[in-house]
Structure 1
Amino acid sequence: MQLQPGERSILAYFTNEADALNAVTQLKSLGITDARVDRISNYTRMGGTAVPTSIASLTTASNNPEDYRSFGPLLAASPVVSGYAHNGTGGFTHMIALVTDDTQSESVLQVLKNNGAQV
């Protein structure tokens, strides 16, 4: 994407979904229509379902030979599975990416920060 003159891109990271969704609601009241919440994680989605994060679900067999079963032992070795570590993204689980014009950037940043974002 190429930003136009006077535009600014902003990435905001949140530790929980509720704060991120609240920020999007407030941004929409400012006229920002293209803000959305995305979940971020070290683990990708496979086959349309999220990769599970419990030891049992990571190491048990499945009837689908094309699933993540062969990666089970590697995924189960992650410190995240034990609950003693964050998901590897610094504790941030959700992200908002948006583009705004320079005239609104300060108010957008204030909304994000008031909702606990790391910008």
Structure 2
Amino acid sequence: MQLESGERSILAYFPSTTAADRAATALKNAGIEEVQIDRVSRFGVDIDASVNTPINTAGSLSGITMFSSNSREDSDSKKVLLAADPSSSGIGDTNYGVGGRKAFMVTAITKEEKLDQAVNILEQHGGLV
């Protein structure tokens, strides 16, 4: 996609579809028509207190660390690999694929004169611009 002269693109990241949807709705209400929500991480979750509990109600180590206790992975080998992933263990690349962070991206295209207003709306709704 090529922007027209005087248009600006804005990318903002949110922890949930609910927050992203609220921000997108607010942008549209402000007259910014080109708004899109995308999932940009393989984990689109916030911390799930019903699975990630101190008493370990998850079905596997990967369930504890990646909220996948309800997965249908039959292979113990797959579960071991999931648990060893840097996003589960915390060892390795900082914030690598971390679930529950900013997995949803709102993209907006607006005219230059509405840029500051759009950025303010996204930030007011908790977006990382």
Compute the TM-score of the two structures, normalised by the length of structure 2: 0.62
User: For 1:30 and 1:56, how far apart are their aligned partners in 2?
Assistant: 41
The alignment yields a C-alpha RMSD, in angstroms, of 3.3
Hey, what does 2:125 align to over in structure 1? 115
Say yes or no: does 1:101 pair with 2:122. Answer: no
Which residues of 2 match residues 22-41 of structure 1 at below 5 A? 22-41=22-41
C-alpha spacing 1:15/1:101, structure 2 compared with 1 (3 Å)? same
Gaps of 5+ in 1: 44-51, 62-69
Deviating beyond 6 angstroms after TM superposition, the runs of 4 or more aligned structure 1 residues are none
Hey, what does 1:5 align to over in structure 2? 5
Gaps of 5+ in 2: 44-65
Hey, what does 1:64 align to over in structure 2? none
1:78 aligns with one of 58, 75, 85: 85
- Look up the SS of the partner of 2:82 in the other structure: helix
Kept in 2, the 8 Å contact 1:23–1:112? The answer is yes
Hey, what does 1:57 align to over in structure 2? 71
Hey, what does 2:19 align to over in structure 1? 19
